[in-house]
A and B are shown apart, each in its own frame.
Chain A
Amino acid sequence: MLRKADTSAVWAIVASLVLFFIGGLLTTVVPPMVDKSWGKPFANSDPAKGPTGHLAKLNEQQLQGRAIYVREGCWYCHTQQIRTLLADTKRYGWKGVDAPISTPDEFVYDTPHMFGTKRTGPDLARIGGRYDTQWHRTHFRNPRDLVKGSIMPAFPWIVNDPKEFTALVAYMQTLGRAKDWRPANDYEK
């Protein structure tokens, strides 16, 4: 068959597409049908099965904040996934508690997804509730005022727009909170 594709353009087209679609369909369309956790929102009330909690949809304001996060390209430098590596769970934990590993059911309402490919800054999957609004205000105005050596851009036009700033912080405070992983709920507002 592939020999024929050597002299017949139609054969070449058919063969290229058949080979492409075998792998294409088996790796994109079939997996979510096999693994149901890709589409079912996280909910767990049994402490024996790990962190408890349930995933809620974002409200209007949080969605606006998320849109700002997308617009400014925050996702180019900050991933949102705690991988199955000790280094991830330890590094992004807080006050001695390890960050729980990210699971597919935590992201079913997310579009566009924010997993990211590059960490120029730290991962933000469990950032929600780690810092308060005042900290974020100072940090967005000029990151280097709080973190010496940071190379994050300053975002004065967001801080100076109360609506945008409140929305962005509201979104960031939701990150990773579905899994109620911090002891005694010591989240910052």
Chain B
Amino acid sequence: MQEQFSRAESGGAAPGAIIHEDTTVKWFVVSSISYFFIVGIIALVIAAKFVWPDLMGTTSWLTYGRLRPLHVNGMLFGWLLAADMGLTFYIVPRLCAVKIWSEKLGVATGILWNIIILSAVVSLLLGRNKGFEYGELEMFISVLVVVAWLMFTANILMTIFQRKYQAMYVSIWYFMGCLLWTAFVYLTGNFATLLATGVNQANLNWMYVHNAVGLIFTPVGLGIAYYFIPRSSNTPLFSHKLSMVGFWSLAFVYVWTGAHHMLHGPISQWLQTIAIAFSLMLLVPVWAVVYNLIITMKGQWHQLRDKVELKFLMSGVVFYLLTCFQGPMHSLRTVNAIVSKTDWIPGHAHMAVLGAFSFFAIAGTYYAAPRVFGKLLHSVPLANWSYWMIMIGGLGFFTTLWLGGFWQGWQWNNVSIPFIDTVVALKPIWTVRFISGVMIFVGIVMFAYNIMATVLGPETEAAA
């Protein structure tokens, strides 16, 4: 299978010259899909609590306030980041045409990551919550996350340093960016915030919250998309130059936007204006990336019919475009006055984390898991079913929450409507959200089952 891929990857040794052990990838793939399934159940419970608030209501550790941080942290760190790390361990050695620097260190990182997630589950259910959005985990767990991240960073950077090709494919820049930015963004959100109070602390917290998506999940997600779209479709990337525009504008612009979480709030007006200006500039990296990936598929769209991972990848690109159009629009003061703090926000956040980046991670898992385990994918029809379930459930989820959020915002702005009436009015929206959530969850079960059946299924030589 000789691909025209990127100039970084196509020169040099013939493919297959290096035998990758991929033990680390296996660890991360199996852990991440397990947490995707487990935390999916939590997600359903909290969606159900909007419709039936008394559900499991008299047990302290099963209330919304305890389960919500578990859902958020579980999905972000247990599923998505773990899957992204596993795929980074898969992609980087292949793009560098070398073995991973240390397989042992990689496996140790995978084990430590599982310890972190399991301690997080216990401590969050006990109500041990630092009180920062996305930074809820207790101090000792945050320290373990830093240790695990350093282990991950050392391993990937050392692999990149000893690469065979001088030129680095765009995915490698994105992974390097993710490693570095995550380190500083995480330290800000979990440690620097403790040195500040009030508005200053909120500003640091939102620098973290916004960049957890913008400078952690975006770069690693795009790195994955940039690798698997050309790889799976056997097509060269449209433009190397355009990928540079996308990467470096993202590197500069994203970090400025955190204060748009405080529009109209108790924070300096000039800082809000800066955040709005930079949020609008985000359209530059997004268009550069999306245009590049879409044009790469020119003449190749028919491949979507046969390759489920391409379905996920290209839908992910479209959701990425939509969510990154919503973001700048939402940061305009007039739009913000309506949708801010409504159910529009979870609709938007879910399209980024589920619609865009989880789609990329699912696609990567569908592509990589059979190859690292040396098996054929258990069932292609089941994989297609998982796509349609998550896709339709996701669309139902996103669109009802945007429309519901707008409606909610209009009602809030009419002060003659009592607040409780705006809550009751949203109940049909939350019912549809729950039903869509069930569909997404069924899709997740199909995905997790398919991968596990692949892993446990019979060996085959054809897959590698």
CB proximity to B under 8 Å, residues A69-86: 70-77, 79, 81, 83-86
Question: Given A13-B180, A19-B252, A20-B181 in contact, is the A115-B127 Cβ separation under 8 Å?
Answer: no
Q: Does B5 contact A (CB under 8 A)?
A: no
- What distance in Å separates the Cβ of A111 from its nearest Cβ neighbour in chain B? 5
- Asked if B462 is at the interface (CB within 8 A of a chain A CB), the reply is no
Shortest distance from the beta carbon of B148 to any chain A beta carbon, whole Å: 20
Q: Confirm or deny: A2 has a beta carbon within 8 angstroms of a beta carbon on chain B.
A: yes
A9→B255 contact, CB < 8 A? no
- Of the stretches A27-35, A165-173, A181-189, the one at the interface is A27-35
Task: Of the listed stretches A45-53, A128-136, A149-157, name the one at the interface; the rest are far from the partner chain.
Answer: A149-157
The answer, yes or no, to whether A96 is at the interface (CB within 8 Å) is: no
Query: A72 with B65: in contact, given A12-B168, A19-B251, A149-B420 (CB under 8 Å)?
Result: yes
Determine whether A63 belongs to the interface, using a CB cutoff of 8 Å to chain B: no
Contacting pair A27 B129 (CB below 8 A):
no
Q: What count of chain A residues pass the 8 Å CB interface test?
A: 75
- Closest chain A residue to B337, Cβ basis: A85
| Bound CA span A113–B267, Å | 13
Instruction: Indicate if the CB atoms of A153 and B65 lie closer than 8 Å.
Output: yes
Contact B252 A22 (CB under 8 A): yes
Interface contact A28-B180, CB-CB below 8 Å: no
Is the pair A151, B258 in contact by a Cβ cutoff of 8 Å? no
A contact residues around B314 at 8 Å (CB): none
Q: Which of B49, B130, B188 contacts A112 (CB 8 A)?
A: B130
Contact with A along B151-194 (1 / 0, CB 8 A): 00000010011000011100001001100110010001000111
Q: From residue 133 to 166 of chain A, which have CB atoms closer than 8 A to chain B? A: 144, 147-157
A153 to B130, CA, bound (A): 21
Q: Which of A28, A35, A76, A109 contacts B65 (CB 8 A)?
A: A76
Interface hits, A1-36 → B, CB 8 Å: 2, 5-7, 9, 12-13, 15-17, 19-20, 22-24, 26-28, 31-32, 34-35
Cross-chain contact B198 with A38 (CB below 8 angstroms):
yes
For residue B104, CB closer than 8 A to chain A, the reply is: no
CB of A148, distance to nearest CB on chain B (Å)? 8
Within the complex, the shortest CB–CB distance from A37 to chain B, in Å, comes to 8
> Contacts A16-B251, A38-B199 given: A9-B157 contact, CB under 8 Å?
yes
Instruction: Return the contact of B251 from the options A20, A101, A109, A150 (Cβ within 8 A).
Output: A20
- Determine if A23 and B253 form an interchain contact, defined as CB atoms under 8 angstroms apart: yes
Query: Is A113's CB under 8 angstroms from B256's CB?
Result: no
Q: 0/1 per residue, B127-145, Cβ < 8 Å to A?
A: 1111111000000000000
Name the CB-closest residue of B to A156. B58
B240-259 to A contact mask, C-beta < 8 Å, 1/0: 00001000100111111011
Q: Which of B203, B209, B254 contacts A28 (CB 8 A)?
A: B203
CA distance A77 to B271 in the complex (A): 26
A73 touches B129 (CB 8 A): yes
**CB-CB under 8 A for A119 and B53, given A13-B180, A107-B198, A109-B197:** no
Is B342 among interface residues, defined by CB-CB distance under 8 A? yes
Q: Which residues in chain B, 255-281, are within 8 Å of chain A measured between CB atoms?
A: 255-256, 258-259, 261-268, 271, 274-275, 278
With A20-B181, A91-B412 known as contacts, the answer to whether A102 contacts B53 (CB < 8 A) is no
**CB under 8 Å from chain B, chain A span 88-141:** 88, 90-91, 101-104, 106-122
A32 vs B53: C-alpha distance in the bound complex, in angstroms?
41
Task: Give chain B nearest CB distance to A127 CB in angstroms.
Answer: 12
Q: Which residues of A contact B50 (CB under 8 A)?
A: 120, 151
| CB 8 Å contact bits of B414-437 with A (1 = contact, 0 = none) | 110001110110000000000000
Within 8 A of A (CB), among B28-52: 49-50
8 A Cβ contacts from B63-90 to A: 63-66, 68-69
Interface flag for B60 (CB, 8 Å): yes
| Chain B hits for A113, CB < 8 A | 197-199, 201-202, 205
Minimum CB–CB distance for A115 against chain B, Å: 5
B176 touches A13 (CB 8 A): yes
Q: Does A56 contact B (CB under 8 A)?
A: no
Q: Give the CA-CA distance A79 to B412 in the complex, in Å.
A: 14
Task: Say whether B345 contacts A81, CB under 8 Å.
Answer: no
User: Is B351 in the interface zone, CB < 8 Å from A?
Assistant: no
Contact B420 A150 (CB under 8 A): yes
- Min CB distance B123 to A, Å, is 11
Interface residue B2 (Cβ < 8 Å from any Cβ of A): no
- Whether the pair A28, B207 counts as a contact (CB closer than 8 A) is yes
Task: Please state if A154 and B251 are interface contacts (CB–CB under 8 Å).
Answer: no
**Nearest chain-A residue to B50 (Cβ)?**
A151
CA distance A16 to B176 in the complex (A): 9
Residues of B within 8 A of A148 (CB): 420
CA distance A17 to B65 in the complex (A): 36
In the complex, the answer to whether A23 meets B252 with C-beta atoms within 8 Å is yes
| Chain A CB within 8 A of B200 CB | yes
Shortest Cβ gap from A178 to chain B (Å): 12
Q: Which of B177, B199, B248, B256 contacts A107 (CB 8 A)?
A: B199
Q: Find out whether the CB atom of A117 lies under 8 angstroms from the CB atom of B244.
A: no
The answer to whether A12 touches B197 (Cβ under 8 A) is: no
By a beta-carbon cutoff of 8 Å, the part of chain B in contact with chain A is 49-50, 53-54, 57-58, 60, 63-66, 68-69, 127-133, 157, 160-161, 166-168, 173, 176-177, 180-181, 184, 188, 192-194, 196-205, 207, 209, 215, 244, 248, 251-256, 258-259, 261-268, 271, 274-275, 278, 337, 341-342, 345-346, 412-415, 419-421, 423-424
5 contacts between A and B (CB under 8 A): A9-B168, A35-B268, A111-B196, A115-B202, A119-B412
**A35-B268, A79-B341, A151-B423 known; 17 other A-B pairs, CB under 8 Å?**
A9-B160, A9-B168, A13-B176, A20-B180, A20-B255, A23-B252, A28-B204, A38-B200, A72-B65, A73-B68, A76-B64, A91-B415, A101-B266, A111-B196, A113-B199, A119-B341, A120-B50
